[in-house]
Amino acid sequence: MVQAAQRASVRGPTFIRLLARMTDVGVTPTQQSLSQRLSQWLDWTHSIALSTALDGRPAAADGAASSSVSAEEEECAHARATLTATITGDGIGVSASASGQIPAIEAGADGTVDYAPFRQRYLSMQRSMQSATGRLRGRLRDRLAEGTADMARLAAVDAVMERALSPREHTLLATVPTVLGEHFERLRQAGDNTVADAPASPDTPAAASRAWLDVFRRDMQSVLLAELDLRFQPVDGLLAALRTR
């Protein structure tokens, strides 16, 4: 407990703070500015494409397109609500006894609980989030390109940034299931130690030995919801820009 108390609090998005809390590694805040970090992430081809998008003079649309963004707002809201419902409604964040999925899915023949099904579930949700946000982002860029010259320029810049940063984003987010797996094992070990140290009692329900699993389910759900928020940030930004048309 003393060691945990000495750890510096991590600032930043909820997603980063949740992952930092689940690891034993201290996080040192970077001293570099955003522009310095971006200069390391963009190669020369991306830099040229970004410069072209920024310096270009796209033609303004003829105004024939509808100015209403209600359809885009509705689609974005529906996609986000669907993903949120999947995350919160598939048994990830509820107790083992309430979900009824432990014997059928997570428990092996010997009664042990394995992380593999949770990992597959997380990877599946990541693919769904990536597919949905990518589709929405492209649609919103198309709508922006129909607007003013500034709107069209923003759409071009966002397209370049997505191509440039998506590989790095994919690589970094791919490590999240591994972090969760390590968190799963630490919780399981702590739960096993607690059960071993507790006095034997026939009145103690078997579910008590899996209290750690309920903690993990809630943690995994929280990380998924935080990642969903993170992935929707570009979509939210483009949608906000579209509202100013």
State the pLDDT at residue 195.
Answer: 60
CB contact set of 53 (below 8 Å; sequence gap of 6+):
153, 156, 157, 159, 160
Cα-flanking dihedrals φ and ψ of residue 199, to 5°?
Answer: -65, 140
Say yes or no to pLDDT of 11 above 90: no
Model confidence band, residue 207 (pLDDT cutoffs 50, 70, 90): low
Burial group, residue 134, by CB count within 10 angstroms (0-12, 13-18, 19+): middle
Instruction: Give the CA dihedral 124, 125, 131, 133, nearest 10 degrees.
Output: -170
CB contact set of 233 (below 8 Å; sequence gap of 6+):
none
Could you tell me which residue, 33 or 243, shows the higher pLDDT? Answer: 243
Token pair belonging to 53 = 């998008």
The reply to whether 14 falls in a domain is: no
State the pLDDT at residue 111.
Answer: 54
Quickly list H helices, 65-148: 70-89, 96-99, 116-145
Q: What's the structural domain count of the chain?
A: 1
For residue range 34-88, list pLDDT tens digits in order.
667 766 777 767 777 767 777 776 655 555 444 577 889 999 999 999 999 999 9
The reply to whether 140 falls in a domain is: yes
CA distances from 240 to 68, 112, 244 (A): 13, 48, 7
Of 2-11, 17-26, 139-148, 207-216, the range with the lowest mean pLDDT is: 2-11
Helix (H, G, I), strand (E, B) or coil at 107: strand
The reply to whether 95 falls in a domain is: yes
The reply to whether 88 falls in a domain is: yes
- pTM score, two decimals? 0.78
Mean pLDDT score of the chain, rounded to an integer? 78
The amino acid sitting at 240 is: A
For residue range 73-101, list pLDDT tens digits in order.
999 999 999 999 999 986 555 444 444 34
What is the extent of the structural domain holding 108? 69-197+205-245
